Structure 1
Amino acid sequence: METDCKRDEPPADGGAIAALPAGTRLLHIGPHKTGTTSIQGALFEARDAMARHGVEWPATTRHPMEAVLAGCARTGMMGDTRPTEQHWERLLQQVRATGRRTSVLSSEFFADATDDATVERVVEQLGGERVHVLVTLRPLARIMPSQWQQYVQNGLRMGYEDWLRHMLRKAPYEQPNPSFWRRHRHDRLIERWARVVGTERVTVVVVDDRDREGLTRTFETLLGLPEGLLRPVPDAANRSLTLAETEMLRNLNKEFRANELPAELYSQLVRNGAVMHMKNACTPGPGDVKIGTPQWAVEAADGIGAEMAERIGAMGVRVIGDLRLLSGDRSLLPAVPKPATRTDVDPRLAPEVAAQALYGALAAAAAAPVRHTAAAKSRTVHQTSSGELVRVLGHRCLKRLRLR
């Protein structure tokens, strides 16, 4: 069954959202930290119900990250297996299998496509003129702390304020994370994709944090789905780290790098072991300190946001929502938490949180057991330095991972 996508619905700004034609392949490209995980969970959970209304979710997982990374010629997360062209080709086959039906695909890693040639290849292979690009945006001042702690989860060792200075004050603003502005210089991101598909096939959604269901309603309207079909799916593993949790991990990253441990070990024991278990097992409370952005950085981000909003507004793409949100208009935003200082509150990691992180690493190590080597048997643990013990454990786990 195919649906005729004709339903319009008034957005928050009083205009009307025109639904996309039946047979469209809606490509949500993020970028990161703009509600992507939430909408991916809702779409994946409702995939069977959407199919009954003529809308397909072609991927077999909530987020086909490996396939998209391969399609955009990008590497994976630190220590993860490098994505291959087979991942991308498998996703393309699933998209083609939807035929002439409407389909939707979402991945923030599409925003990592570096040039027009890559964007053009992705669009052509996903359906050419049938592809409609959707970009979701939030204010930079709200993205930056979330993106920093995400980089820390991928091995970053730099503190937040130092990182902000590099991103906002140290030209060419590419170190230590060149991907940041490729993703979050939103006007250039939209231009990059609009050059390939045309401005008439680009929709920009400005996410309003005051309206928790606004993004799902927008997707429902664009796809011609009944209101309420898409519902948020709780995902503790996607929550942001607190300041104390991030600082604990950042210091662990320093030790990890200082001991020259293999990246595969980081993926197995740290990111997918300690951090993942800690996030699933521990819910931050009112006493936990959030990552606070200093005022100078908020003002700098708001200035860039205002410039981006002006350029986006002049592009001719369809905009849903209020672009003034991107400029940090405080009358339109919920209050930004003030950064905690050492005299205000000292962010300390609760013992139970540290215990859960340690347990997560041990559980991940136990999932990849290795036999003792002859060299390890020749000395007791107490006769071996801590640094050497860490290296031995790392190489053993790496050996086991490669065997698996």
Structure 2
Amino acid sequence: MAAKVILHIGQQKSGTTYLQEVLGHCADALAAETGVLFPPSLRDVLPDAVENHERATYGLLGTEYPWVSAERAAAEEDKWTRLAARAAEWPGTVLISAEALSVVRSAAVRRVVGEFAPAEIEIVITTRGLGRALPSLWQQHVRNGRRQEIGTFFETLAAQRDQGPESIELEHDQHHWRAFAIGGLVRRWAREVGADRVTVVVNPGSPPDRLWRLFTAAIGVAEFADRPPEQVLTRRTHSGLTMPETLVLVRLNRLLEEAGWDTYSARAARERLLLSGLLPRSGRGPRVGVPESARRLVEDWSRADVADLESTGARIVGDLDDLRFDAERDVHRPLTPDQVADAAAAAVLAMVDRSDFQPAPPRPRRRFGVRR
């Protein structure tokens, strides 16, 4: 069994995909030069996948995740078996990265920690200010097919949070605040491993390689920070939607559902629209931010959560000020009708096959004989 297991457990929208992409590109060098194994999981079967271990944890925890069915969990059991075997065979440190582990309840936390006994367990949590993370989460939900308006999204979050920490801890569907209430997340894992073995990495936002440098310091391999190629370190793994683009998708998702489109076809239509229409544009409009109606809510949540994090005793890598709400940065800018119309027109154009509108070739002129 590995001497140490580092569990990188998210949060969502905190840069985890970027870190997993960098780790996947330099995993062999990381193991050879530092003794830290980032074991393959997805790339065993999908060579171009962003390497992470989330699907493997589905095989362990199953329906603890609200979005995982029993059938899906059973299909992923082999991934967990292979991942655990690789961890058992490695004599040094093993790094497991699965952002979904940030949403699980205490019993699941104990089970995960117990799987790696008697190895020393350390927890690394990457986090981002609520003023940026929550709007980004909303646009990701819309990109995945949801049709909830942004104001309703924040009203739902407020209603869930108002139910209190006991509900957040116990209720299966309270997974958003189990992940995003950072103080509670730290305590949930610290109860099993000790606060001195929990590190919180604050994502500064930009430049992207700054997060990587903070992360390498958190896992104890700061000397490896410059090892990956620059083109990998500066690559952005997600192209987030802008506000007008997301509004167009909300309405499209509603129409797709009303028209009876199945999940697979609707997803394929959205991907074509995004890749061929919305994302390649310049001048795509203002980014998604906190709506004015939720400004005071998010400011209060941010203030409370930063104070709660400071009281946990966890090690913090990065600047806590990057977690504080900043209205100038976090509240979304007003839209113009032209910005929404431009996004809608680009979406329509992406879905049109130009060949359907080519003029028909001229018909040959009929030649008639001349009577003499």
* Pairwise same-fold verdict (TM > 0.5): yes
2:18 is matched with 38
Structure 1 contact 25–127 (Cα < 8 Å) conserved = no
* Worse overlay, 39-48 or 128-137: 128-137
* Worse overlay, 338-347 or 247-256: 338-347
1:215 is matched with 211
Counterpart of 2:94 (choices 90, 100, 103) is 103
Q: Tell me how far apart the structure 2 counterparts of residues 32 and 358 of structure 1 sit (CA, whole Å).
A: 34
2:202 is matched with 206
Cα distance change, pair 90–318 in 1 and its aligned pair in 2 (3 A): same
Pairing of 1:35-74 with structure 2 (within 5 A): 35-53=15-33, 54-61=35-42, 62-74=51-63
Cα shift at 1:195: 0.9
Structure 1 contact 72–110 (Cα < 8 Å) conserved = no
Cα distance change, pair 285–227 in 1 and its aligned pair in 2 (3 A): same
Deviations 1:258-312 (A, max 9, x none): 3555xxx41x3333x2333444443342243422322342332122111111111
Cα shift at 1:185: 1.2
Cα distance change, pair 250–34 in 1 and its aligned pair in 2 (3 A): same
2:269 is matched with 274
Q: Tell me how far apart the structure 2 counterparts of residues 320 and 206 of structure 1 sit (CA, whole Å).
A: 6
Cα shift at 1:145: 1.2
Is 1:312 paired with 2:309? Answer: yes
Q: Tell me how far apart the structure 2 counterparts of residues 155 and 219 of structure 1 sit (CA, whole Å).
A: 32
Q: Tell me how far apart the structure 2 counterparts of residues 276 and 96 of structure 1 sit (CA, whole Å).
A: 39
Pairing of 1:111-126 with structure 2 (within 5 A): 111-113=102-104, 115-126=105-116
Cα shift at 1:320: 1.1
Cα distance change, pair 275–104 in 1 and its aligned pair in 2 (3 A): farther
Is 1:195 paired with 2:187? Answer: no
Q: Tell me how far apart the structure 1 counterparts of residues 195 and 100 of structure 2 sit (CA, whole Å).
A: 21
SS at match of 1:349: helix
Pairing of 1:323-402 with structure 2 (within 5 A): 323-328=320-325, 335-336=329-330, 338-342=332-336, 345-349=339-343, 351-356=345-350
Counterpart of 1:152 (choices 142, 160, 180) is 142
1:234 is matched with 235
Note the residue ranges of structure 1 that are not aligned, 5 or more in a row.
1-21, 360-404
Among all aligned residue pairs of Structure 1 and Structure 2, give the percentage whose two residues are the same amino acid. Answer: 25
2:367 is matched with none
Cα distance change, pair 280–127 in 1 and its aligned pair in 2 (3 A): farther
Deviations 1:332-376 (A, max 9, x none): xx83463223468545425444444678xxxxxxxxxxxxxxxxx
* Worse overlay, 282-291 or 137-146: 282-291
Q: Output the TM-score relative to the length of structure 1.
A: 0.71
Q: Output the TM-score relative to the length of structure 2.
A: 0.77
Letter aligned with residue 94 of structure 1: R
SS at match of 1:316: coil
Q: Tell me how far apart the structure 1 counterparts of residues 38 and 54 of structure 2 sit (CA, whole Å).
A: 14
Structure 1 contact 288–347 (Cα < 8 Å) conserved = no
Q: Tell me how far apart the structure 1 counterparts of residues 69 and 247 of structure 2 sit (CA, whole Å).
A: 21
Structure 2 contact 131–326 (Cα < 8 Å) conserved = no
Structure 2 contact 123–197 (Cα < 8 Å) conserved = yes
Cα shift at 1:77: 5.8
Q: Tell me how far apart the structure 1 counterparts of residues 107 and 70 of structure 2 sit (CA, whole Å).
A: 26
Is 1:283 paired with 2:280? Answer: yes
Structure 2 contact 20–97 (Cα < 8 Å) conserved = yes
SS at match of 1:291: coil
Cα shift at 1:70: 3.3
Q: Tell me how far apart the structure 2 counterparts of residues 219 and 292 of structure 1 sit (CA, whole Å).
A: 26
Cα distance change, pair 235–152 in 1 and its aligned pair in 2 (3 A): same
Cα shift at 1:119: 0.5
Q: Tell me how far apart the structure 1 counterparts of residues 39 and 335 of structure 2 sit (CA, whole Å).
A: 47
Q: Tell me how far apart the structure 1 counterparts of residues 26 and 349 of structure 2 sit (CA, whole Å).
A: 36
**RMSD of the TM alignment (CA)?**
3.1
Deviations 1:29-79 (A, max 9, x none): 001000101000000011111122122111333123321233333458699
Deviations 1:83-142 (A, max 9, x none): 323332232223223x222221212111121x2110011112134542210011111010
Moved segments of 4+, more than 6 Å: 78-81
SS at match of 1:309: helix
Q: Tell me how far apart the structure 2 counterparts of residues 126 and 276 of structure 1 sit (CA, whole Å).
A: 39
1:300 is matched with 297
Is 1:27 paired with 2:7? Answer: yes
Structure 1 contact 274–358 (Cα < 8 Å) conserved = no
- Larger radius of gyration, structure 1 or 2? 2
SS at match of 1:82: helix
Structure 2 contact 151–293 (Cα < 8 Å) conserved = no
Q: Tell me how far apart the structure 2 counterparts of residues 58 and 127 of structure 1 sit (CA, whole Å).
A: 18
* Worse overlay, 347-356 or 103-112: 347-356
